[in-house]
Amino acid sequence: MEISFIGAGNLAWHLAPAFENAGHHINEVYSRQLQHSRRLVSNLYDAHTHSDLNFADSPSKLFVLAVPDDALEEVCSRLVLPENARIVHTSGTRPLSDLTHWMAIYSDVPVRTGVFYALQTFTREQTFMEFGEVPLCLEASDKELEDELVTMGQEISDIVYLITSGERRVLHMAAVFACNFTNHLLALAHDVTTANGLEFDLLRPLIRETLRKGLAADNPAQVQTGPARRNDLSTIEAHLSMLATQPRLAELYEVMTSSIQRMYIR
């Protein structure tokens, strides 16, 4: 498949090489920040940067919208695509109907629309992601495009699902809890230790074992430990006293403690 990427951020950095490694050809990469598209292109075989959103003369058949959710409509409003184009967005929250609607009102040519959502955390400029175990959640406006996306998905991943827009939004929200909030808590733990002259490395074995147990259990609730789980009020109060000069951390500690207590204490 001849492919162009619109956006050169975290996802594009990993997905574009994955498509190339599966035998597809990346023609062009557009980004509002030219240095980002140049950096991505430098890691592809013979792609080149595209200076604007006019792709009328592009040889590509598939256009991948890898831009932030709040930029999707603006990009679609300025996008010029060739005949017989297919376009997919990569958002976890935007319904397929949004993209279909935007293409209907902004595009001068008929465009087939879909979703190619990779359920993973990506960071630009890091080692390219191995997609074999990355769940791909796909959706399309018609069966032909659906089949094409499934084939492309299966070429790079062993986990490919047809997911509705509503199901994808639920998965994305759950992913925020599992990934973003978890990583933020790790960052806070790092700040707490280093601010008190301790090494964050002391927590790494605990973190690894916590994640191992949680992933091995049918339900992570089965392996919950800690003062909130056992309703150790004296320890909880001692921790809150230690956080007296850090009201934001204290508030988060109380919210998390209360959530755990409500789950286990009847």
**What is the spatial distance between Cα 61 and Cα 87, in angstroms, rounded to a whole number?**
8
**What is the spatial distance between Cα 145 and Cα 97, in angstroms, rounded to a whole number?**
15
pLDDT tens digits, one per residue of 84-115 = 999 999 999 999 999 999 999 999 999 999 99
Longest dimension (CA), the chain: 70
Report pLDDT for 195.
96
CATH number of 169-264: 1.10.1040.20
Tokens 């609730």: give the residue: 221
Question: Helices marked H in the chain — which ranges?
Answer: 10-21, 34-41, 72-78, 96-106, 143-156, 165-175, 182-195, 204-216, 233-242, 247-264
Report pLDDT for 265.
83
CA angle, corner 85, sides to 11 and 108, nearest 5?
115
* Residues of the chain scoring pLDDT < 50: none
| Structure tokens belonging to residue 47 | 């792609």
CB 2 within 8 A of CB 27: yes
**What is the spatial distance between Cα 69 and Cα 6, in angstroms, rounded to a whole number?**
13
CB 141 within 8 A of CB 194: no
- Domain locations in the chain as residue ranges: 2-163, 169-264
Report pLDDT for 69.
95
**What is the spatial distance between Cα 144 and Cα 165, in angstroms, rounded to a whole number?**
18
- In eight-state DSSP terms, residue 200 is G
Report pLDDT for 129.
86
Report pLDDT for 127.
87
**Taking the model in full, what pTM does it have?**
0.93
What burial class does residue 106 get, using C-beta atoms within 10 Å of its C-beta: 0-12 exposed, 13-18 middle, 19+ buried?
A: middle
Report pLDDT for 17.
96
Report pLDDT for 126.
84
What is the secondary structure of 51-85 as a DSSP string? Answer: -SSB-TT---SEEEE-S-GGGHHHHHHH-B--TT-
- In eight-state DSSP terms, residue 179 is I
Tokens 């997911």: give the residue: 163
**98: nearest Cα among 139, 152, 54:** 139
**What is the spatial distance between Cα 228 and Cα 236, in angstroms, rounded to a whole number?**
7
CB 118 within 8 A of CB 136: yes
Query: In a 3-state reduction of DSSP, which class is residue 125?
Result: coil
pLDDT tens digits, one per residue of 221-264 = 999 999 999 999 999 999 999 999 999 999 999 999 999 999 99
Residue 65 CA to its chain's centroid (Å): 13
**100: nearest Cα among 115, 80, 90:** 115
Q: Which CATH number is correct for 2-163, 3.40.50.720, 3.60.150.10, 3.10.129.10, 3.10.20.30?
A: 3.40.50.720
